[in-house]
Structure 1
């Protein structure tokens, strides 16, 4: 039976729900087959507050993606975020197997022990990811790929992402009520980083700042691995609310004014101009200087980047960010955002667009607001989280889905037993093998 190479990402955000259907091309890059998007009204600060509204938004976005891609969507890799998600460092140490050569079973035992070594993990929380930081084989430090190395003891540390069980359950419940299955859950800062970072930036040290509707996510990468992350409960919606309060307008009008005329840095304004906006419920239209709008926006954006700066310095990694910062998400699109971030953070800054997209409708997702969902798709590809049941089925439109004869490797989506050893060739890069462990564990 032919195996599908179709992967699905689902981003349930505070302001929008996005679904992307993609396949792997001959070079291992993403070929985007379809996407769906719907307004989200069932979440606040990345937390579900209305099940029915969230289900409706998921269903609408999925229907659009199915119609565009001609793929019947079954299982998804969904992003998870929010202030309830936090990360814990855990040390681990295991004896190498009797052969004295580190194998994949040793690494799995290492990660399992890292999980069991976590302190203060109560029954209200569950593990989302177990991400290794470094390995030490006997006295050899800084080992990136321990498999194949000779030694007696393997030590190191792992970065473990945990979240509140009830809030994770609500996300799963929404997806299941929409008729889908959860193949995997991915911490959104991990997904955003995977989507927008270049390998050189990841190795050199960079911070990824994803400004969404309800939350701003911060993830710091040093020497190729995520080292620190935190979620801030201030984001783009707060800018819109400030504009609505400042100009006395409805939120929808304020959002439109922000997008059409907004600027995040007053120093970029060369000439002032009058902006005319609709009054509330039939009241007369009103006007205000663009400079006044910019002052309102700048104040809140300054707060966001000052909070980010505090997080970076508190992490202890500020001096190691040789590649600076990458800002992404829909909240990064206002003119002047890069300049303001550069001024407050004291780092080189660029806007992050999805990387590694080779074809299909790639122009439709070439936008920072799709960074998270494209990262979820990329993470699915790296973990072989293909459409369940082996084949991607055609949608109700009756068109046949793309498929290939690549064997599906071990994954949570295929129901693999984490205790079984991987059947991948030993020559594969360790980082690719290791990413498969995250969702198995």
Structure 2
């Protein structure tokens, strides 16, 4: 490869996308180095989906222990220790970080645990002052939580800090209506906190089917979560007792012992030296790339959340894989298909979806057929829990091709992963109808929709 360079590839940022790209490129025979200024694993492993899912599991026991009595179990003296869970989760995060690091080292990837910046053509300067060169540079620095700019915003935490709290807040205000806001609302609510969600618009989870988000809001309200819609914050003032007075533009002030912002994420591009070599960025700060993850600078690529295409860990991994295979592999370059990507919200209960929602399908196809199943899962019936699940399938009215599936209910993400294969493959409603159900399961409703 480029023998007059120190490395064939230098990766800046070792989250999911950067790690996959570095490992695969090295497996193809490239000389690879990578720099990570924080911890190997990035947002997902260190302070995102992995520890969050562990908290979701922990929170679910609040309902499971309550339901257990209906199944003949006697649970005496139950209590919850936040610090015990928090520390155990952080230990497991450390374990996974070690696995990521070990995998890279086994593939002979040279690791620099420090900040790196592009300082010239094919040139990277590390925080220690060391200067190296590379034939290709991959930017995989991810994104960070956005905090709105209002007076007192320095008192607000984000999902980054939520994993390290000393205790569960008694009363928490969560700003935002997206998946992070609703996931942490469910977590803290199950742990006993009084939770209020404040959203600037009148909608939560705007990219999901309206029936799913409406069902989640109804169930969240029944669990005691409060919603403040069309609400803007003017100021957060810290009180002498440690509480925070939140002043709204059109509502009376409220007091909370914790305020959390879950209002989107911002690509990490500061200090990368993009201006030095002329890498173009978009209006949201995202690095602009083509379908093969290449920037306008021929030897510089970018994958994952820093490109702001689809901010999901599996997408970053696929982009990293495609980049490494295309640039260093022995087959034709290929691009990642960013359509029909399944996703989930690990709320209580969770939502999962793939393909188009009903509005999108009608806008694109005009005539659509919608099939639904609104039911109480058997476990909820026995547990005397009045919580209904909902499955929705949207099909092309002319051909019967499945355009999208959405679901809210227990194990929805686990079920949707398999269903996503069928939707991605372009299967029809008739293919589902011809499939024998596994009974009794929640998933069987997918093949019984009428």
Same fold? TM cut 0.5: no
Q: Higher relative contact order at CA 8 Å, sep ≥6: structure 1 or structure 2?
A: 1
Category of TM-score, reference length = shorter chain: under 0.3
TM-score, length-scaled by structure 2? 0.25
Whose radius of gyration is greater, 1 or 2? 2
TM-score, length-scaled by structure 1? 0.25
